[in-house]
Chain A
Amino acid sequence: MNEDKEKISAWLDDAIEYNEAGSLESEQDERAFATTTRYQMIGDALRGKVTEASMIDISASVREAISREPEIVPVTRPARPIQREAKPLFDFGSWLRPVGGLAVAATVAMVMVVTLTDKQTATDNAVVANVGQQPVQALPVNNTAPVYARPGVAMPAVNLNSYVTEHSEYAAQDTIQGMMPYARSVSYGSEKNTALKNTTKDSQTEKNLGK
């Protein structure tokens, strides 16, 4: 069996040709296939190439493992006709069994959801410079939920830094959040790679000091 495993490993690493590993087929097909799949997954995981398909197999394996667990059979007690047994307020035992099962399932599901969500969030959080010019639907009543389809056509970035700075400084005066908008104002100007360019011309108010 160990020899088989070595063959599979070598084949997956491209160390031997498929023909050399071919003897595996005739021996123990099912076991060899399972081993191959497992080795493939380990290899993928090490190379950071775990696919959705391989993750689904994990849940299937867990399900299979649970099904192989011995069934919990409730212990029946002889009836006592004279003295009735007082039922506890909360039967923790009966709570724990399904909760335990749920916890196992939830943990498996969470691992998958977190992994998939992370990928999705990374896409969603990407800074969108300027996307699209598809018109949005204006709402006739302003207290209804906004109906808005995000445009998907990318356009070149526009420098809005002077607007951002002006907005932040003004916003600070109209909110109960104290210095929070001022902090935003400082932070927007602090990003070296998005240096603020004061492109707004105002000949009446702009002047040079000491020049």
Chain B
Amino acid sequence: MKIARQMRIGVTAFLTFAILSHLPAYAGNVSEIVSGMSAADKHSNYIGTFVLRKSDKMMTMHVVHGVDDRGVWESMESLNGEARKIVRHNNEVISIYPDRNLVTVSKMGGKPGLHPTLPENLEKLANYYTINQLGDDRIAGRETSVLNVQPKDAYRYGYKYWLDNETHVLLKCDLLDENGEIVEQMMYTSFNNQSEVPQSAFNIPDLSGFTSQSLDRNRGKQANIGWRATNMPQGFMLTQSTIRSGEDNESLHLMYSDGLASVSVFIETGEDSPHRLVGASRMGALNAFGKQLNGAQITVMGEVPEATVATIAESMERTQ
């Protein structure tokens, strides 16, 4: 009896020691993995194919990612559904829609995105998410580390990341709603890490006859926007603002982010707004909520719970 009790105490002590001694290394490793994931965009050359599942729809895409002395290049092309190609060079994004003879060009000015602010950004993320390492798994024939990112409140979704052990590139991603259900899933089915990728992949095809739309952006300019959210969930910061003036209307796009989740607020003035959404709308992981206020159409959307977009929309008010 005495021996049994001693053994129980021994086992308990061993387990306690094992768990406690594991914690600091665990936390450090998570930080390293997340930082690696952010940095992978600027250091990796690869070619791959991934599938993206949203609700009952599944899409396949071919991606080429390269880095040279001029920066980061990326080409992404849909292999099913409507033909569409995105070519990105650093912060400039060109989207080509061959079926509609349309090309959009967006270029972000000012300081770059939140990526370089890691690890400070990681510390901020820890205020709103609990990040744990779940173990290892294999995706597209490659060894990966799995991270579980769980929100600490009901204003954001959860994430599960599968990161390539060698390159830290995100090879699989689950987006989980407030009930833990997967609302969006991305996974590479083939992934080839390369020393360099062919530049021809980033060539822009002949765009004769295409309609071009340019989207210029201003980052973080809060002055003279004329609108503000009085009840923004904690952690979301204004990261971009865009004002576009048309003949009969003016539209304002405000972008808020907590480092993982992003929320857009679109405000259109004028009577012929084509986006007269009143109430809630959902497309896969994306929730939207619209309302009209003082002759303006307010539409809030993002990969966040419906309650989040509704709360923000209802709190928008004019400042001038």
Interface residues of A (CB under 8 A from B): 86-87, 89, 121, 125, 127-140, 142-143, 145-148, 150-151, 153, 155, 157-160, 162-167, 169-192, 194-196, 198-211
State whether A190 and B80 are in contact (beta carbons under 8 Å apart), knowing that A167-B301, A174-B114, A200-B251 are contacts in the complex: yes
State whether A146 and B311 are in contact (beta carbons under 8 Å apart), knowing that A174-B255, A179-B76, A189-B84 are contacts in the complex: yes
B86 touches A182 (CB 8 A): yes
Query: B13 → chain A, closest Cβ, in Å?
Result: 15
* Bound form: Cα–Cα A18–B142 in Å: 67
B61 touches A151 (CB 8 A): no
Query: B157 → chain A, closest Cβ, in Å?
Result: 12
State whether A164 and B314 are in contact (beta carbons under 8 Å apart), knowing that A143-B153, A170-B262, A210-B208 are contacts in the complex: no
B170 touches A173 (CB 8 A): no
Q: Can you list the 6 inter-chain pairs with the closest CB atoms, starting with the nearest?
A: A146-B307, A210-B208, A171-B262, A148-B307, A190-B81, A174-B257
State whether A179 and B74 are in contact (beta carbons under 8 Å apart), knowing that A145-B154, A204-B245 are contacts in the complex: yes
- Measured CB to CB, the nearest residue on chain B to A196 is B97
| A residues in contact with B57, CB < 8 Å | 191
| A residues in contact with B247, CB < 8 Å | 201, 203
B264 touches A179 (CB 8 A): no
A200 touches B264 (CB 8 A): no
- Measured CB to CB, the nearest residue on chain A to B78 is A190
Partner of B280, one of A128, A173, A204: A128
Q: Which interface residue of A130, A139, A174, A181 has the most chain B CB atoms within 10 A?
A: A174
B59 touches A177 (CB 8 A): no
Interface residues of B (CB under 8 A from A): 1, 4, 7-8, 34, 37-38, 40-41, 50, 52, 54-57, 59, 61, 63, 65, 74, 76-78, 80-82, 84-86, 88, 91, 93, 95, 97, 99-100, 102-104, 106, 108, 112-115, 118, 121, 153-155, 159, 169-170, 173, 181, 184, 186, 207-217, 230-234, 239-240, 242, 244-249, 251, 253, 255, 257, 259-262, 264, 266, 274-283, 286, 288-291, 299, 301-303, 305-308, 310-311, 314-315
Partner of B281, one of A89, A131, A166, A195: A131
Partner of A142, one of B38, B233, B280: B233
B186 touches A170 (CB 8 A): no
A190 touches B82 (CB 8 A): yes
A138 touches B275 (CB 8 A): no
* Bound form: Cα–Cα A175–B117 in Å: 11
A179 touches B41 (CB 8 A): yes
| B residues in contact with A142, CB < 8 Å | 231-234, 311
